[in-house]
Structure 1
């Protein structure tokens, strides 16, 4: 499968391009970016063609990997799907429900395969853990803390405009949901959401399986306090998400495997665009409850579609 890359930022440079270059089943064909000089440099490093015209790239490939800000990703994903190209997308799928639905509809109408890269879902140790916990149906409660130091440490993503605008809810919130949803079931409603220090968000979710979960999400944690913890409690006891030494590049290569399988078999992957849309809907519901005026106002429970 010939695949092109859309995007030239740090995530494209550090993760997408190396993963595509090293993938045995994908033929990395070229790079397009909104900054032609950056596209030329990234393409040169990986021995592929730099495209000035994104439609010319679409014409030369079978699939595209998208490493663009989510609002931009949505518009180009729709164009690529309408051109009949399979999609390896990033999280979040979009930052509005309307954008997410438009992507999902374009994928469905074109009959192309789609995979959204939720990193934890493509790392072997955490993937196995999620599958094992999903086999139990008596979970009582869960706690997920996804604490990053993007804005307080030395991160190459600190200058990202969309992260500064949308914060932890939209950046690391998708990761937490990608772990909880397959285990606890879909979210019936977001019962509460409020802000903490910096861009920190706390949210309480009511799941269809009967359990509730509490999320703490941040990109402004002190570096010494950063880290990821997910704990489940129920009839099966207490269990925690294992640490994973797998790199993002290795995980993205596995996502490439998933795209190849979905394209070959026609069977949707669990992390397809429809799942990405569901995550977007839940995040949007949580966002409506965040205080925007009166201090301490938590709003009312937000039903999810």
Structure 2
């Protein structure tokens, strides 16, 4: 029996959702409402009609104001642009609510630092929705990576999502692949190869960006990212090289329906124990710092 399928012996964590866009509808609302570890209590969005459409299938309330949402829940999930998350998540932390945060934490490093400081000051639980990290295959890859002794790695994450469609949103089009795809790639390289201590970037994040990462171990990894190229299907691939045989991770082949129950169970467990896990706001701050380095700021 996996941890996600064990009986849940606590009351469900009451979660309010901020946002009613495509990701909120497709993932957050559905996953949080599925339980039994969590209960979707209310939805708040700047477009009230979208909030109603998101809440209705699950019988959740529609909050008229963000402050009203806070009154309905003990934890808040965010599915909004990073600039909005950075502002509202600070207010939720100050109100004593646990946080389920999207990546990146914010649009810039100072805003991400303010959010981390607010979480620390309030002493609340935080957790990042780094989707692939909750998948069993990813965890098997990261465990296997520890014995490879890799001295180098190549990573590639390519998609055409920014060329059109519901995920070609203003903040993604303005800031490009580094802020949207970068957290996934940098997190996995950092976890597989050891801490990244320096990053250099080249290219235009809105078109194609290349990263060279130096790890504390002395290993070097490189990553190519774009959200603006035509590919038959998305590519997410990491290759580790060293004295042992090559180790390959194919993230594009994952079925993320296997990730969501694990994420939900771990978030609820963290809230009930009052202890954040590895993928908390400080993990997000580390990734934000690496992205700032890549941009030379």
So what's the TM-score if we normalise by structure 1? 0.88
User: Cα gap change, 1:225/1:7 in structure 2, threshold over 3 Å: closer, same or farther?
Assistant: closer
Output the CA distance in 1 between the equivalents of 2:270 and 2:155: 30
User: Cα gap change, 1:244/1:146 in structure 2, threshold over 3 Å: closer, same or farther?
Assistant: closer
Aligned residues: 285
Give the match for residue 196 of structure 2: 187
Output one character per residue of 1:91-138: Cα deviation in whole Å (capped at 9) or x when no partner. 1111211111111111111111111011110111112211221x2372
1:156 paired to 2:166: yes
Q: Of residues 155, 161, 178 in structure 2, which corresponds to 1:144? A: 155
Contact 2:235/2:252 (8 A) holds in 1: no
Moved more, 274-283 or 36-45: 36-45
Output one character per residue of 1:195-232: Cα deviation in whole Å (capped at 9) or x when no partner. 16962100101011211010101001212274111000
Moved more, 231-240 or 274-283: 231-240
Output the CA distance in 1 between the equivalents of 2:71 and 2:261: 23
Give the match for residue 103 of structure 1: 115
Unaligned runs of 5+ in 1: 290-305
| SS of alignment partner, residue 68 of structure 2 | helix
Output the CA distance in 1 between the equivalents of 2:275 and 2:148: 25
Moved more, 261-270 or 271-280: 261-270
Q: Of residues 29, 43, 47 in structure 2, which corresponds to 1:31? A: 43
Contact 1:140/1:210 (8 A) holds in 2: yes
1:123 paired to 2:132: no
Shift of 1:243: 4.6
Give the 5 Å matches for 1:84-103.
84-103=96-115
Give the match for residue 293 of structure 1: none
| SS of alignment partner, residue 267 of structure 1 | coil
Shift of 1:57: 1.1
Shift of 1:51: 0.4
Output one character per residue of 1:164-208: Cα deviation in whole Å (capped at 9) or x when no partner. 011001110111012111121222211x32116962100101011
Moved more, 280-289 or 75-84: 280-289
Output the CA distance in 1 between the equivalents of 2:69 and 2:76: 9
| SS of alignment partner, residue 223 of structure 1 | coil
Give the match for residue 6 of structure 2: none
Output the CA distance in 2 between the equivalents of 1:32 and 1:225: 33
| SS of alignment partner, residue 161 of structure 2 | coil
Contact 2:175/2:205 (8 A) holds in 1: no
Give the match for residue 266 of structure 1: 274
Q: Of residues 213, 220, 241 in structure 1, which corresponds to 2:228? A: 220
Contact 2:155/2:222 (8 A) holds in 1: yes
Give the match for residue 46 of structure 1: 58
Give the match for residue 204 of structure 1: 212
Output the CA distance in 2 between the equivalents of 1:78 and 1:241: 35
User: Cα gap change, 1:225/1:246 in structure 2, threshold over 3 Å: closer, same or farther?
Assistant: closer
